[in-house]
Structure formats: structure tokens, C-alpha cells
Amino acid sequence: MVVMTLAPRLEKLSDEALLTALGLGDPDAAVVFIRRFQAKVFGVASLITSDRVLAEDIAQQAFERAWRHAGSYDGRRGSVATWLLTITRNLAIDACRVRRADPVDPEQLLAMLPPTGELDPLAAAVHADAMDRVRPALAQLPAEQRRAVLLATLAGRTTTEIGEIEGIPVPTAKSRLRLGLAKLRDSLALQGLS
């Protein structure tokens, strides 16, 4: 007779299974879900709001919204992580519509992306995947296009705000953003990712 202990730990659940459990109101799953994504969510909220207090409120709202809309998550459209970070980004952008904090140095955004060596092995593997794909593609962009892309995506700035930060007309800001995103798209597509 072989008796094996196989009770699965929540920590070993996939992101999708964990999100399902969160959506069904399981408190232990909620804790694991929060722990798994809180640093990323707070990171995005902080980048966009530049306000630690507001960032925490945004991050809390993001997890609450993740519960409310767990049933609408579609795995075919992307990972749970990007789905959650998109929710976070949209909340942060909406919160910042009225007020604008200090200008963000876009090159600092790129510098803030951590080296994978600082992460635990699983996070490093996931992060390395994104970093390995995207960071080189970003580095290949002309500097002004890279700045526009980072300000728009990671910092949630509008083209009007990008124009103000960079000291350029809005049409120029739009053009840099358009070209930068197009080149990024083509570069990632060449990697067979799209």
C-alpha cells in the first residue's frame, strides 16, 4: 500500500487556476494571488502616478477589479499578468487625468527595469522571458522614439504630455510614438511572438 500526500499547494497553481479561485471568493487563493502579483502591480501604479499613497490605492483597486472581472479573463488574449497590469495601468491613468505629478525621465524608466539576477528563480524566468524579448527591441529604437514609447506605455502619458516633457510639438510626439510602436511591433514579430 502506497500512501502519497498530494494535496496541492495554492502556490503551485497556475496563474489561471489561481485567478479562477480568486473569482470564486476563496480567501486563501486571494492571499496567494495578491502576493504573486503585488510587486508588479504596485510597480506599474508607482511608475504612472509617481505618488506612493495613490499608487497603493490604485493597486488595491486593481486587485478588487481583478476579482470582479475574473470571469471575463480570456487566456487567448494574453497572460493573467498582462491582463492584471493592463487593469492597473488603466486605473492609474484615469486617476492621473486631473493631476499630473513630476515629469518622468523616460531613460530612468528603462534603467529601472531590474536585472533578472535580483529575482527569485521562477520570477526571473518569467521576467527574463519578457526582458529578453522586449528590452533588446527597445534598445534598438532611436532614442527619441524609445522615450516616447516608454512614456506612453510604462508611464501612461498622453501625446500632449509627451510633447510637454520632451519640449516638442504634439504632432512630433505622435509621430515618434507611432514610429516607435511600429518598429517595436515589427521587431517582436520577427522574433515570432505576435
Partner 1 sequence: MKPGCAAFADQIEELALGSLDEPTRTELLQHAAECSQCRARLDQLAWVTEQVLATAPEIEPPAGFEDRVLARLIDSGSVVARARSHSRSPSWRWLVTAAAAVALVVGGFSVGHWQRRSTAAVTEAVSSGPIQRNDGTRAGTIVLARTPVPHVLVAMTQPRPSTEPVQCILIGPDGRRTDVGSWTYADVEHGAWAVGIDSSLLGSARMEIVDARGKVLAAAALSPA
| Span 3-42, contacts to partner 1 by CB under 8 A | 3-10, 13, 17, 20-31, 34-35, 38-40, 42
Query: Does residue number 122 form part of the binding site for partner 1 (CB under 8 A)?
Result: no
Q: Could you say which of 80, 104, 141, 149 contacts partner 1 (CB under 8 A)?
A: 149
Distance CA 8, CA 20 (A): 15
Distance of closest approach, residue 167 Cβ to partner 1, in angstroms: 19
Any idea what the Cα angle at residue 88 is, between residues 82 and 89, rounded to 5°?
A: 85
Query: Does residue number 2 form part of the binding site for partner 1 (CB under 8 A)?
Result: yes
Helices (H), 50-105: 52-68, 80-95
Query: Does residue number 168 form part of the binding site for partner 1 (CB under 8 A)?
Result: no
Query: Does residue number 154 form part of the binding site for partner 1 (CB under 8 A)?
Result: yes
Q: Could you say which of 50, 103, 105, 130 contacts partner 1 (CB under 8 A)?
A: 130
Query: Does residue number 138 form part of the binding site for partner 1 (CB under 8 A)?
Result: yes
Q: Measuring CA to CA, which residue among 96, 71, 85, 76 is closest to residue 36?
A: 85
Distance of CA 148 to the CA centre of its chain: 17
Total residues interacting with partner 1, rule: CB under 8 A? 82
Q: Could you say which of 123, 144, 164, 172 contacts partner 1 (CB under 8 A)?
A: 123
56-85 mask for partner 1 (x: CB under 8 A)? x--xx--xx--xx---------xx-xx--x
Distance CA 50, CA 45 (A): 8
Query: Does residue number 43 form part of the binding site for partner 1 (CB under 8 A)?
Result: yes
User: Which residue, 152 or 167, has its beta carbon nearer to partner 1?
Assistant: 152
The answer to whether residues 49 and 55 touch, using CB atoms and an 8 Å cutoff, is: yes
First to last CA, the chain: 50
Say how many C-beta atoms besides its own lie within 10 A of residue 131's C-beta. 17
Query: Does residue number 103 form part of the binding site for partner 1 (CB under 8 A)?
Result: no
Distance of closest approach, residue 102 Cβ to partner 1, in angstroms: 17
The answer to whether residues 46 and 58 touch, using CB atoms and an 8 Å cutoff, is: no
Distance CA 194, CA 192 (A): 6
